[in-house]
Amino acid sequence: MFTFYHQKSDTFTRWVKDKLDEMVVAHKIIDVAEYDSGSLPNSTSPNDLPLLSDEHEYWTSQEEIEDILEDLQRDIEFSRSLTSDVCYVDPANPNECL
């Protein structure tokens, strides 16, 4: 399960929320009040926000968060392409599915 911690609603926060919703992955969005650092993972502080965690690792820069979510989306799309009931025709051999 992914958890996204943030303090302000800005363009990046909306992008992360939309991306997690679009991928249909289990996630929580937590708006951390400046005075409430108790909801953050251990060894992190409000200065680390925004922060994305998968309960094992966490990422604190916008670039890292964008990269991990883009990689995850590619992996999910690939996985879904393998579990589909659709036959994708091999362009090199139209008689076979990929």
SS3 81: helix
Q: How many domains is the chain built from?
A: 1
pLDDT, tens digit, 9 for 90 and up, residues 62-98: 999 999 999 999 999 888 877 766 677 788 887 777 7
CATH of residue 27's domain is 3.40.30.10
Instruction: List, in sequence order, the alpha helices (H) in the chain.
Output: 11-23, 62-82
pLDDT, tens digit, 9 for 90 and up, residues 86-95: 677 788 887 7
Q: Beta partners for 58?
A: 53
Q: Domain residues for 58?
A: 2-97
SS3 47: helix
- Say what the pTM is: 0.76
pLDDT, tens digit, 9 for 90 and up, residues 4-48: 999 888 899 999 999 999 999 999 999 887 656 677 888 888 888
Rg of the chain over Cα atoms, rounded to whole angstroms, equals 18
